[in-house]
Amino acid sequence: MCDEDINPWALDSAVSRRAFGAGAGAAVVLTAAEASAPAGVTEKDVKVKTSDRQADAVVLYPAGKGPWPGVLIWTDIGGLRPVFREMGRRLAAQGYTVLVPNPFYRSATPAEYANLTFATPEGRTTLFGYRGKMTDEGIDNDAKAYLAFLDAQPQTNKKKMAGVQGYCMGGPLSFRTAGAVPTRIGAVATFHGGGLVTPQPSSPHLLVAKTKAAYLIAVAKNDDARAPNDKETLKATFAETKRPATVEVYGGDHGWTVPGSPVYNQAESERAWAALSALYKKNLG
């Protein structure tokens, strides 16, 4: 979930010096995949045609001989901002063609919401308003458009399965992506994902049966304290659908994987990144 009780901080409009330093320090701890990755990443701002209009996004891919497996990143409720570009660069450097869209393109550009913050009622109301305009049908159509865009890039290896990862509100969007394009998604990762299990018939966890993916579910310790049965429901769902999955509660609070947040936990974030790297290497390679 993404509310003021879980996320009581201001969402940075840019990567602060402190956040950039934390991210740079984290990058020193290389996974095996990163240690052998090609140097250099190309980053381009792009427009992706969706069923509604055009979505602004950034596409990133490594230097060297491709093509590379595609990966879609769904941001948290702070939207497309520098820290998620940095995550995209890091992932691209490991050997992936990465797309990070503005999830709120129907409502605002990243520049227009850059100064919004969870620290004020007005900021929360606006951000939740943006999220509210993202219907399930719209998200599914967006997912199809984003994967089609990735597949249209010469840097993307369409013969290999793609991955999707999401943070906070991006967790359920990642589940929806796997359900919307099940023949393309081979791996799903969520980090402090909110609302993966709900009592509604549209609950994201009910989509697992439609998918062909392996899953990594990294749960925040305070999210688990609020809803301790969710992880058990997810485990049972993966067992019933025979989908390979790891569901684990990490020693960080909601938002711990995003550099720059007051709860950023470098050690646990790196452990989660290593698990993500292993998931993609096994299922997208």
In a structure prediction context, what are the per-residue pLDDT tens digits for the chain, which is 285 residues long? 454 444 433 333 333 323 322 333 333 334 444 444 445 999 999 999 999 899 999 999 999 889 999 999 999 999 999 999 999 999 999 999 999 999 999 999 999 999 888 778 999 899 999 999 999 999 999 999 999 999 999 999 999 999 999 999 999 999 999 999 999 999 999 999 999 999 999 999 999 999 999 999 999 999 999 999 999 999 999 999 999 999 999 999 999 999 988 899 999 999 999 999 999 999 997
Domain containing residue 121: 17-284
Angle 170-180/136-152 helices, nearest 10 degrees? Answer: 70
Q: Which of 72, 26, 88, 64 is nearest to 186 (CA)?
A: 72
> Do the domain assignments include residue 134?
yes
> Do the domain assignments include residue 217?
yes
> What pLDDT, on a 0 to 100 scale, did the predictor assign at position 91?
98
> What pLDDT, on a 0 to 100 scale, did the predictor assign at position 136?
96
Q: Based on the structure, what is the number of domains in the chain?
A: 1
Q: Helix, strand or coil for residue 29?
A: coil
> Do the domain assignments include residue 275?
yes
> What pLDDT, on a 0 to 100 scale, did the predictor assign at position 39?
59
> Do the domain assignments include residue 32?
yes
**Rounded to two decimals, what is the model's pTM?**
0.89
> Do the domain assignments include residue 12?
no
At 189, which CATH number?
A: 3.40.50.1820
Give the span between the Cα atoms of 59 and 48, in whole angstroms.
10
> Do the domain assignments include residue 77?
yes
Is-contact 202 225, C-beta < 8 A? no
> Do the domain assignments include residue 53?
yes
Q: Helix, strand, coil shares of the chain as percentages rounded to 5?
A: 40, 20, 40
> What pLDDT, on a 0 to 100 scale, did the predictor assign at position 213?
98
> What pLDDT, on a 0 to 100 scale, did the predictor assign at position 2?
52
> Do the domain assignments include residue 2?
no
Is-contact 26 259, C-beta < 8 A? yes
